[in-house]
Amino acid sequence: MSLAIEIVQLLIQSADSWLFEGSRSGLSDREWMALRFLARANRFSRTPTALASFLGTTRSAASQIAAVLQSKGLMVRKPSAEDKRSISLCLTSEGERFLERDPINALRDQLVALELPDQSRLRDTLRRVLDGLDVAQRRHRSDVCSECMFLIESGEGKDRRFKCRLFRKSLAQKDTALLCAYFEGRD
């Protein structure tokens, strides 16, 4: 049990990179989380509802966070290409440049310095821990399309194709590395 407590304490200390009081570079930690999510979200997940789900908050609170990002020129609201009744939350080029000052980059740089096998083990271990927490707390998490049960792959080489069964839409290979709020893990 003492090893588990030590790991929890280390995770809490590392969380200082992305959970903080006040603001850093003019954004609160929740606004940074929203900006990061929108930068990595697939086209189906750039909605106020998906953002609220990712942040674990109400749609109203997520819309307020999006309004702050929009007022700072970091994001814009656009009519959805998929459903004209809804909107997409899209980063501006200023928002993409702003992410270069993300406080979490220091943690990312430390992880990049690890050997690749250590990075893979840490990722896989944290995924298992998060899966257990999600089940225990009955919540749903976002993850990358390439790990989702809805992703269908066909063909090989240049003829390789990807499709989301849930949305019945084609995906570019690069989109399979993006976050999806509708993710369902493979069993």
- Find the CATH number of the domain harbouring 12: 1.10.10.10
Instruction: Specify if 158 maps to a domain.
Output: no
Instruction: Specify if 118 maps to a domain.
Output: no
Task: Please give the residue range of the domain that contains residue 61.
Answer: 1-102
Instruction: Specify if 61 maps to a domain.
Output: yes
Instruction: Specify if 121 maps to a domain.
Output: no
Count CB atoms within 10 A of the CB of residue 53: 20
- Whether residue 154 contacts residue 165, with contact meaning beta carbons closer than 8 Å, is answered with no
| Rounded distance between C-alpha atoms, residue 41 and residue 178, angstroms | 5
Per-residue pLDDT of the chain (187 residues; tens, 9 = 90+): 688 888 888 888 888 777 777 778 889 989 999 999 999 999 989 999 999 988 888 999 999 999 999 999 999 999 877 677 889 999 999 999 999 989 888 889 999 999 999 999 998 898 888 878 776 666 667 788 888 889 999 888 888 899 998 889 899 899 999 988 888 887 6
Instruction: Specify if 173 maps to a domain.
Output: no
Domain total in the chain: 1
Instruction: Specify if 23 maps to a domain.
Output: yes
Query: Is residue 104 exposed (0-12), middle (13-18) or buried (19+ Cβ within 10 Å)?
Result: middle
Q: Which residue has the tokens 């993006």?
A: 178
